Structure 1
């Protein structure tokens, strides 16, 4: 009974957060973000309490901008590459995550935009725990040009079986435009 009440309270809080977020952030479709992220990126990936690792990330956007495919190179979390496939379906986005080691994960998300940042929000499961999931993409601006130099991708969760009211960072990945003299080390 207590677990059910807590779940209802957290679900209500999520709805209020989504409602209040939507008053400041606009619900958008994948086509508004897809083209901005497409390309080749490099940077580091870091999990809490683990040393950052260098990764390369390839992002493809379908011609109709209703599919976004992200591939993070091997060495970020597993020995295989991992893929994130976002697919626009009516008013929500379906995410299919695969890493070649664990079972593929799929979940429904909603995409919001606020001041140039994009946030995918949804309910799912992380580490076999029910959670509110947030995949946040924040632009990193260039000091020399008024353009986006890259993105900071933060993957966070708010566990529904936890009394905490905050999202916990699961991992962050920096997506930076590669330069000729900035190459990734080989393993």
Structure 2
């Protein structure tokens, strides 16, 4: 990468800087930081995710402005936001404690709320998104889809609460969130990202 002053910036230096920045951000929440088993590795993965998502967020032929603060933010369509969304789903599923044997036979007819239907529709679009990506060879197609799905899931938590719901409804909602987590996980891996379960 070349700066406006025509000096060269190497990827190793960029990854080191974003890794350190993510480590600083993580340290601000001491309670959560203490729960992460390997904070340095997690910070590195967040840093790499920041750079990769920034790089893949536009079409391949377009340039972009490199901004460390923007790309390491947990707000907006960034790598850390995507990682946070995946980790939050993992946390919700863990807290629910519903065994896999009860998720598969869940009564999905109970998912009648608008938020649930919206998430189901987005999950169903994943195969078409992959086909479009194969045609265009633009990773931004998958990335844009993942951000649409994570926004829909994140906006549904208040309406589609898991813990405290009636048991059958809880199982249906867990099945929905489990499916969303699986799609987000697979989409991230297709892009070369390492999904975090805790951060």
**Which TM-score bucket, shorter chain as reference?**
under 0.3
Higher relative contact order (CA 8 A, sep 6+): 2
Q: Could you say which structure has the higher strand fraction?
A: 1
> When the two structures are superposed, what TM-score results if normalisation uses the length of structure 1?
0.23
Instruction: Say which one has the larger Rg.
Output: 2
> When the two structures are superposed, what TM-score results if normalisation uses the length of structure 2?
0.22
